[in-house]
Amino acid sequence: MQEVMKIEGGHELEGEITISGAKNATVALIPAAVLANGPVTIVGIPQIADVANLSKILQMLNVEVTEIGQDHLIIDPTNMKNVDLTSDAVTKLRASYYFMGALLGKYGHVKMKMPGGCYLGPRPIDLHIKGFEALGAKVKFEKACYSIDAEKLIGAKIFLDIASVGATINIMMAAVYAEGRTTIENAAKEPEIIDVATLLNKMGAHIRGAGTNVITVDGASNLTGCFHEIIPDRIEAGTFLIIAAACAKRMVINNVIPQHVEALTSKLQEMGVKMEIDVDKIIVEKADHLTAADVTTRTYPGFATDLQQPLTSLMTQAEGQSKVVETIYSERFKHCTELNKMGANIELINSGALINGPTPLYGCTVQATDLRCGAAMIIAGLIADGVTEIQNVYHIDRGYCEIDKKLEALGAKVWREMAE
Ligand code: EPU
């Protein structure tokens, strides 16, 4: 038996929703908080399974975690113990690897299992490791565990072959206490990196340049507790923008930083979606006609790979042939097989997909093969005729905060059941 999500499609949505704190910032902010020597309060924590798993890891480290209300977390590492992280909680999410940088930075030693997360094709962490080594650490990989040790971390110049989000954040965290200056060149520029650097600087770190491709970290001697509010989730905002474009009469999406979703909003406008972009909200009106478009995923500020899968569902409703090219994760196309089961006409090409539309979609049983595939299935289910059953729904719960409630508030028919 497993829990499945069911969606009865074809209902026109209308109303307002508020976007939660950014998952991909949160999952780095929580490990970053352990670098402090006092309590860190983080506000805007989304209720997602990844957060629950990170809290478990904090508890293993004897870090005191206090939840206040729905979205406040106080993380107090005052009595922390640097134990080996070899439990399964580590393998349940990708972001557990941020404890590598945080624990190495604070104690000069970390031992942990290989991180997990969505399968999107190969996801090596060689750049993280090279960064730690450049700071003076020795890295061993034995029996599915990394052991990373440094007598002393010394600032270094590190050039990332790929502008990796994870490596940029992990190296930043490992370097906050290192002696001297660390320079990360070809750093990733995603908004979540700025958010993590902001938290660390509030704690007393000296990080400059976050949000550009050169980040410098000057070693600090002590980091203290602080208060921080997480940025809105640009991927959740993007998902709801696409849902609105697919099936809403009118939707008001609150708590958005429009600049963070510009690559998507301009693409949607090109496809014929009407929207009004305000300072911190976006209002989407029903489109009379959607036209096909081409999109290529890029690092920020380019089109986010995490929105490529949800957008594909919308493209099945656009007139003409759309093309999606994936440059970050070449195998992130499992959603296309699922969409084809529902009646889409998608052809897979090398690192890309050709979507021929419009095609009616019909409810059937599909898999959320990964988190954003799950989002793509929700969108398709909302459009489809009949009932769609989404299996492996735990992937969706890893990253979308109260998605059922938010959809129901907009008038969608969504429920969960236990199924074979
Ligand atoms: N890469 C390497 N070596 C490394 C690190 C990355 O070759 O050491 C490659 C990856 O295989 C990939 C590319 O570099 O081809 C970019 O990977 P990156 O490190 O930037 O991604 P990530 O940190 O593992 C984060 C998000 C992903 C999001 C990507 C790209 C988190 C926890 N995850 O992953 O989010 O797709 O950045 O923006 O922040 C999601 O939310 O669904 C998700 C998968």
CA of 166 to the centre of ligand 1 (A): 6
Lowest model confidence (mean pLDDT) among 116-120, 310-314, 345-349: 116-120
What is the pLDDT at residue 59?
96
Which ligand 1 atom sits nearest the alpha carbon of residue 117?
44
Same domain membership, residue 210 and residue 327: no
Same domain membership, residue 267 and residue 210: no
% of the chain surpassing 70 pLDDT: 100
What is the tally of structural domains in the chain? Answer: 2
Residue nearest to atom 40 of ligand 1 (CA): 306
Same domain membership, residue 383 and residue 253: yes
**pLDDT of residue 288 exceeding 90:** no
Same domain membership, residue 342 and residue 236: yes
Residue nearest to atom 37 of ligand 1 (CA): 165
Residue nearest to atom 5 of ligand 1 (CA): 125
What is the mean predicted confidence (pLDDT) over 249-266? 98
Domain boundary among 179, 212, 229: 229
What is the pLDDT at residue 195?
98
Q: Using an 8 Å Cβ cutoff, are 340 and 373 in contact?
A: no
Same domain membership, residue 399 and residue 274: yes
What is the pLDDT at residue 122?
74
What is the pLDDT at residue 53?
93
Domain boundary among 229, 263, 281: 229
- Known catalytic membership, residue 145: no
**pLDDT of residue 121 exceeding 80:** no
Task: Calculate the average pLDDT of the chain.
Answer: 96
Same domain membership, residue 85 and residue 36: yes
Alpha carbon distance 173, 27 (integer Å): 13
Same domain membership, residue 12 and residue 74: no
**pLDDT of residue 119 exceeding 80:** no
Pocket probe for ligand 1: among 48, 230, 328, the residue whose CB has the most ligand atoms within 8 Å is 328
**pLDDT of residue 115 exceeding 90:** no
For 85-99, the pLDDT digits (tens) are: 998 888 888 899 999
Cβ of 329 below 6 Å from ligand 1: yes
3-state DSSP call for residue 407? Answer: helix
Positive or negative: CA dihedral 328, 308, 321, 259: negative
Residues facing 48 on adjacent strands: none
The confidence band for 28, taking pLDDT boundaries of 50, 70 and 90, is very high
Phi, psi of 347 (to 5 degrees): -115, 130
What is the pLDDT at residue 94?
87
What is the pLDDT at residue 392?
97
Same domain membership, residue 51 and residue 7: no
Structure tokens belonging to residue 201: 């600087």
**pLDDT of residue 320 exceeding 80:** yes
Which ligand 1 atom sits nearest the alpha carbon of residue 188?
20
What is the extent of the structural domain holding 186?
Answer: 23-229
**pLDDT of residue 400 exceeding 90:** yes
CA of 249 to the centre of ligand 1 (A): 35
**pLDDT of residue 262 exceeding 80:** yes
Q: Find the CATH number of the domain harbouring 121.
A: 3.65.10.10
The confidence band for 114, taking pLDDT boundaries of 50, 70 and 90, is confident
Using alpha carbons, select from 106, 45, 37 the residue that is nearest to residue 72.
Answer: 45
Same domain membership, residue 216 and residue 251: no
Same domain membership, residue 288 and residue 413: yes
The confidence band for 25, taking pLDDT boundaries of 50, 70 and 90, is very high
Alpha carbon distance 40, 155 (integer Å): 25
User: Helical H runs in 319-415?
Assistant: 334-341, 371-383, 394-397, 403-409
Pocket probe for ligand 1: among 120, 130, 141, 162, the residue whose CB has the most ligand atoms within 8 Å is 162
Same domain membership, residue 333 and residue 200: no
Same domain membership, residue 370 and residue 387: yes
